[in-house]
């Protein structure tokens, strides 16, 4: 039985559920917003043995029945703030705590577990891991000090983009002359500044050991924003990565403890591959629809197999 965790309105969740349904696979959909009324996990370890169950409506599924879990875009518990801090109800639905704790004890495949998603909440944490996987990364400054931004801007010849550091979605924007005049607002929060890299965007989806690469041609700095806001239609098409780069994508995904990833690369005019970040909950349906790549099917196959990809962190750490 496959546990699917997320909101049905999400295209990735909808794809997985409809595929499992069509194939007659047994699955259970849990929406964290419905905790504890509609679902409730429980487990015990007594005498060293783990037993547990999850109740969802009238159905009760034992822990042993769960062969794989797919989680998509639930807010995972944040980095611990401080001892016995009162929770901020706006930050995290209670169900996310329940689910995150539950999946952390499951011995089966979890795509992707909360701990592997955390690197997305601190993108700076990913950068050294990306570099160790063999990718180039753009020169990066994290600061809330305006003078440092001006210095960095000069150092990289005025070609700077900025974006958020946490998992909260932000638009990657070039740092304009107007922005340079408004740097005092930086005092409110540090911002991640990066050297702008020329080239073609490539989104790589790694699912288990399978690699799907999509090139995106767009006039915008952030093609996702361009598409979402209806400002244009980026051109998406399948590409084949050099073997070495594809292998690095798999290594990177596993190093971050992920079974699926969406890796943002840019291929420079010189043919080098620069890596920006790794998304632990990729919206693969957008790329799949444009390219007919069987990304979702690979995910379904992975979930059915229940096999955990081997973590090869030691290879690059």
How many residues bind other proteins (CB under 8 A)? The answer is 65
Instruction: Give dist(CA 100, CA 75) in Å, integer.
Output: 9
DSSP code at position 214? E
Instruction: Give dist(CA 72, CA 8) in Å, integer.
Output: 10
Residue choice 26, 33, 60, 81 for contact with other proteins (CB under 8 A) = 81
Residue 67 touches other proteins, criterion: CB under 8 A: no
- 137 SS3 class: coil
Taking the least distance from each CB to other proteins, the nearer of 18 and 189 is: 189
Residue choice 25, 65, 148, 301 for contact with other proteins (CB under 8 A) = 148
Residue 168 touches other proteins, criterion: CB under 8 A: yes
Residue 107 touches other proteins, criterion: CB under 8 A: yes
Residue 303 touches other proteins, criterion: CB under 8 A: no
Residue 30 touches other proteins, criterion: CB under 8 A: no
- 71 SS3 class: strand
Instruction: Give dist(CA 16, CA 22) in Å, integer.
Output: 10
Angle at CA 123, nearest 5°, toward 120 and 124? 150
Taking the least distance from each CB to other proteins, the nearer of 5 and 213 is: 5
Residue choice 64, 154, 158, 166 for contact with other proteins (CB under 8 A) = 166
Which residues lie below 8 Å from residue 307, measured CB to CB, with a gap of 6+?
A: 109, 208
Considering the complex, what minimum distance in angstroms separates the CB of residue 135 from other proteins?
Answer: 13
Residue 38 touches other proteins, criterion: CB under 8 A: no
Instruction: Give dist(CA 164, CA 109) in Å, integer.
Output: 30
Residue 128 touches other proteins, criterion: CB under 8 A: yes
Residue 188 touches other proteins, criterion: CB under 8 A: yes
Which residues lie below 8 Å from residue 36, measured CB to CB, with a gap of 6+?
A: 94, 95, 98
Are the C-beta atoms of 167 and 125 separated by less than 8 Å?
A: no
Instruction: Give dist(CA 4, CA 28) in Å, integer.
Output: 6
Residue 167 touches other proteins, criterion: CB under 8 A: yes
Taking the least distance from each CB to other proteins, the nearer of 24 and 89 is: 89
Which residues bind to other proteins, rule: CB under 8 A? 35-36, 40-48, 50, 77-85, 87-88, 90-91, 94, 97-98, 100-102, 104-105, 107, 114-115, 118, 121-125, 127-128, 131, 137, 139-145, 148, 164-168, 187-192
């Amino acid at each position: 039985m496959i546990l699917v965790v997320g909101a049905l309105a999400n295209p990735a969740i909808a794809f997985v559920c409809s595929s499992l349904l069509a194939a007659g696979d047994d699955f259970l959909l849990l929406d964290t917003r419905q905790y504890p009324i509609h679902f409730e996990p429980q487990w015990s370890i007594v005498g060293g043995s783990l037993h547990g169950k999850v109740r969802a409506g009238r159905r009760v599924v034992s822990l042993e029945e769960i062969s794989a879990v797919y989680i998509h875009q639930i807010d995972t518990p944040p980095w611990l703030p401080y001892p016995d801090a009162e929770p901020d109800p706006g930050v995290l639905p209670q169900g996310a705590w329940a689910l995150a704790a539950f999946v952390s004890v499951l011995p089966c495949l979890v795509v992707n577990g909360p701990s592997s998603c955390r690197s997305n909440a601190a993108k700076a944490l990913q950068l050294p891991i990306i570099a160790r996987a063999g990718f180039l990364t753009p020169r990066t400054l994290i600061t809330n000090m305006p003078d440092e931004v001006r210095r960095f801007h000069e150092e990289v010849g005025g070609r700077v983009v900025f974006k958020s550091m946490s998992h909260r979605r932000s638009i990657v924007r070039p740092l304009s002359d107007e922005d340079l005049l408004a740097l005092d607002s930086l005092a409110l929060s540090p911002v991640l500044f990066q050297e702008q890299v020329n080239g073609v965007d490539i989104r790589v989806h790694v699912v288990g050991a399978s690699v799907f690469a999509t090139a995106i041609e767009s006039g915008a700095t952030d093609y996702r924003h361009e598409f979402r806001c209806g400002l244009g239609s980026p051109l998406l098409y399948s590409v084949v990565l050099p073997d070495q780069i594809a292998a690095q994508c798999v290594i990177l995904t596993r190093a971050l403890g992920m079974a699926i990833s969406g890796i943002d690369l840019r291929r420079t005019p010189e043919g080098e591959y620069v890596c920006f970040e790794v998304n632990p909950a990729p919206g693969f349906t957008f790329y799949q629809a444009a390219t007919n790549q069987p990304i979702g099917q690979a995910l379904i196959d992975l979930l059915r197999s229940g096999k955990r990809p081997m973590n090869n962190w030691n290879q690059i750490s």
